[in-house]
Structure 1
Amino acid sequence: MNRRVDYLVTEEEINLTRGPSGLGFNIVGGTDQQYVSKDSGIFVSRIKENGAAALDGRLQEGDKILSVNGQDLKNLLHQDAVDLFRNAGYAVSLRVQHRIQVQNGPLGHRSEGESNAIPAAVVLVSVFALTVVAAWAFMRYRQQL
């Protein structure tokens, strides 16, 4: 079965405070070393464990960084982008583009043969919760007799 892959593109402003290991991520890209075909932008290649970006949690590997402290990153050499990050100061504001992969078109769309069934774990947790509530209600009822 052929599956169409679509992307939902969102932008977000992320403010990070530089920590002992810097901002806590590595970048790739630039006009001299394109990371994505036909796109010379700057992308996050790695989030460092326990770094500022990892602790914040919003920046993800693969995100495109559009600007740093309001300065656009379009048409920069890779080293110029690195220098910009290094000289950005203690409090750094990033404008980031997230690209979220969505299979089979828009959210909620199901192709022929795909099920809308509720996962078994959800059913089991629901049954367990109802059983606990019923047992509690029964015990309260018996106490009142």
Structure 2
Amino acid sequence: MTSPEVLWRTTTASAADTERLGAEVGRLLGPGDGVALKGELGAGKTVFVRGLGRGLGIDDPEDIRSPTYLLMIEHPGPTPLLHMDAYFAERSQDLLADGGEAYLVEGGVLAVEWADRLRMTLPEAFLQVELAHLPEGGRTVRFRGDPGIWGPKVTKLLRQS
């Protein structure tokens, strides 16, 4: 996956802030959108996805947990969320090839943790979210994506913040 230009960079002070940011982003997503998450272990990828679920209005966002060993978990809601974990890239690769991308066409949002571990390239239309630890304990969050697709959504997000 290539690294398009940074559309926005922000920081969060806590897990609750990271989840809240995810919820704000989730409210801007719709059927067919994809989010590729990158970051070290413990950077907040799953917390951010829990927020996405809240923003999408999924049935039970508290049930969102890391799908590392399950590889993929579907969360029902008005716009369903398919949550994948590519940490075990070989197994995830097969799942993505066997229907993960098709899920986007079927009206859901696909969120992929550890997306940078995949050999195959995710669609350029995915929003890339990079989370990193800050020395003082918070997180830095960078959003990258095609400005034609994500620019208006990020602008709307900035107006809401």
TM-score in terms of structure 1 length: 0.22
Q: Which is higher, the Rg of structure 1 or of structure 2?
A: 1
TM-score when scaled to structure 2?
0.21
Higher relative contact order (CA 8 A, sep 6+): 2
**Greater percentage in helix:** 2
More strand by share: 1
